[in-house]
Chain A
Amino acid sequence: MNASEDRGVWLYAVMPEAGASALGGLTGVSAEHPRAVTAGTLVAVVGDVPLSSFGEEALRRNLEDLDWLATVARAHDTVIAALVERGPVAPVRLATVYHDDGSVRVAVEQRAADFERTLEHVSGRVEWGVKAFLQIEPEPARPVKSGEGAGAAYLARRRRALASSEERQWHAAEQASHIHAALSELAADACTHPPQSRALTDQDGPMVLNGAYLVDAERAEQFAETVDSCDRDSALLTVTLTGPWPPYSFSSLEEP
């Protein structure tokens, strides 16, 4: 394909040759139809995008626009999710753009070993996310007592409340650690991400676990049930499951 002044090539994911036949019917980040570029025994799934929105300057600007970013992120994920139904997929990080197919081919062939390793690792497996939140203790009313000893009584109340809060946080961390260990047992691979900003979650309390687990497809139900019982068994924590996800969290394998 000839390099074009005003178009770039967006890279979605890399798959084994076998899974990438007939890429019809997908819609990409720029409302284009993703297509396949062969790179050795692998196939890169790409889409043609206009540099007016996806070129360096434009991209830098657009990535700071939440609406644009949300639309593009969802489209990127939708394409990848559709590919996952056909077999192992190594998803590529958002916003990886090339001048032409030739460059894509070179880039993928250079990293062929990494891609093969990733594909092997994620084959037949699904990523699940598990988040745990510490439930906020409803605050007891702080009655304003006047008279003798009111000040000392207030301090005593506050001391108890602070100690209790610290204790809850300690226990929450303990439980989160146990939950992660239990879920990791059921998974082929597991990792934790930093807790999400509190302003952005729909929960009142702080996030104490943000885990990702790569689970054999056949174990999905058992995994979900385990998450459910972790939630039920903890009076302190709310435990939620997200997914299924393409294996984003397990794709960046470095050389051992």
Chain B
Amino acid sequence: MNDEEKNRINADPETAERSLVSLVLTVVELLRQLMERQALRRVDHGDLPDAKIEEIGQTLMYLDLHMDELCDHFGLDRRDLNLDLGPLGTLLSDE
């Protein structure tokens, strides 16, 4: 980060906090999505008892809801959570 960029961010502490929060929530969202896909694979694999499936599903459901609440609380649009890695594309899938 060069001096100009630092100055731009320091001038507005609210933006700085929002950028940090956005970054943290992006990582949380990434983990949530990974867990969800992993869970679906396990469920499809067919070796989980129904009660376990229900438990996993409920946990993920509430995680999802929690993400909405967190984004709401910080005034962020959930769809804005993403990181552009340039040639590597975006961190989270686009859709």
Contact = CB atoms under 8 A, between A and B. Distances in A.
Interface of A: 134, 136-137, 142, 144, 149-155, 158-159, 162, 165, 168-169, 194, 197-199, 204-206
B84 interface: yes
A204 B79 CA distance: 9
Nearest to B82: A198
Contacts of B53: 151-152, 155
Say what secondary structure dominates the interface of chain B.
Answer: helix
B61 to A, nearest CB: 4
Contacts of A149: 54
Contacts of B87: 194
26 contacts: A136-B95, A144-B62, A150-B54, A150-B58, A150-B61, A151-B55, A151-B57, A152-B53, A155-B43, A155-B53, A158-B40, A158-B60, A159-B44, A162-B37, A162-B40, A165-B93, A168-B95, A169-B94, A169-B95, A194-B87, A198-B82, A198-B90, A198-B94, A199-B84, A205-B95, A206-B95
Contacts of B90: 198
A153 B57 contact: yes
Say what secondary structure dominates the interface of chain A.
Answer: helix
Interface string B76-95: 00010010101100100111
A138 to B, nearest CB: 11
Interface of B: 36-37, 39-40, 43-44, 50, 53-62, 64-65, 79, 82, 84, 86-87, 90, 93-95
Given A151-B59, A153-B57, A154-B60, 14 more contacts: A137-B95, A142-B61, A142-B65, A150-B57, A152-B50, A152-B54, A155-B40, A155-B53, A162-B40, A165-B95, A168-B95, A169-B94, A198-B90, A206-B94
Contacts of B36: 158
Nearest to A194: B87
B94 A151 contact: no
Nearest to A195: B89
A158 B36 CA distance: 8
